[in-house]
Structure 1
Amino acid sequence: MHDSGKRLTILTVKEIQALYGLPQFTDEEQATYFALDPLVKQQLDQLRNITTSVYFILQLGYFKAKKQFFISHRETLIN
């Protein structure tokens, strides 16, 4: 019989954050990942409110950087 309370640890907390956490960008990276081409700007104009637009830009930038989408809360994004 084995102890079901123990879990195998493969990644450290720091490694998990690096893989799955929100990216922390330098100013140069921000300019790169959040740059909007004309087609994206056109799509952005179709969104109905500023909150949706900001969320769209954030998701696009995060996806460009880490190739994944994030579920995030407004308070997390503000910080």
Structure 2
Amino acid sequence: MPVINILNDAERLLFDTPPRFSKEDRQRYFSIPSELKSSITRIHPIESRIGFILQLGYFRSRARFFNSAQFGKRDINHVAKTLSVEPPTSLTSYAGSLVTRHRIKILDFLNWESYDSSMTETLVGLALNFAAQKEQPKFIFDALTDACWKHQVAIPSFSESPCVRIVVASVNF
């Protein structure tokens, strides 16, 4: 079977990295919702508080979560300034189960769901329909990520994405 190239390297990099925000975007996406202000102030250490706000902002923009090593320096500085604290030198301590708990809290707050097998069933049907119409793999992949948005399901990273496996399987079906 031939290798199916869904996204080129530049598109894959764009998909798997946090957005590059303008100043206005930072103000919009990293604003702290009033319903979360009191719980955010209880997050310690400050690196974790900054990490939570960055995760929330990136998710609101892309419906995806990113690794803290990928967080933009300008974004970190903006959030630190908003919190009236010095920007941390790194966010390496923002990792593991803490990040997982924060992601769950963000999904719950925004009324979104984690990706699961029920979404796979929905996407397989959609992908098979598009593949039968001879749509290009990239078109099918984009349609599947759009469906995740529509159903308010978090979009996995490209390398971990069930969407990639679904596209490949549907095109080869």
Task: Please classify the TM superposition score into its range, dividing by the shorter chain length.
Answer: 0.7 to 0.9
Query: After the TM superposition, which segments of 4 or more aligned residues of structure 1 sit over 4 Å from their partners?
Result: none
Q: CA deviation at 1:72?
A: 2.6
Residue number in structure 1 paired with 2:71: 77
- Pick one of 20, 24, 31 that aligns with 1:24: 20
- Pick one of 33, 42, 59 that aligns with 2:55: 59
Matched residue pairs, number?
A: 73
Q: Which amino acid aligns with 1:77?
A: F
- Pick one of 39, 45, 59 that aligns with 1:43: 39
Aligned sequence identity (%): 29
Question: In angstroms, what is the RMSD of aligned CA positions?
Answer: 1.9
Separation (CA, whole Å) in 2 of partners of 1:78 and 1:31:
14
Q: CA deviation at 1:20?
A: 1.9
Separation (CA, whole Å) in 1 of partners of 2:51 and 2:72:
11
Report which structure shows greater RCO (CA 8 Å, sep ≥6).
1
Residue-by-residue CA offset, 1:25-70 (whole Å, 9 max, x unaligned): 0111111100112111111111121011010011000000000111
Which runs of 5 or more structure 1 residues have no equivalent in the other structure? none
TM-score w.r.t. structure 1 length?
A: 0.77
Q: Which amino acid aligns with 1:65?
A: S
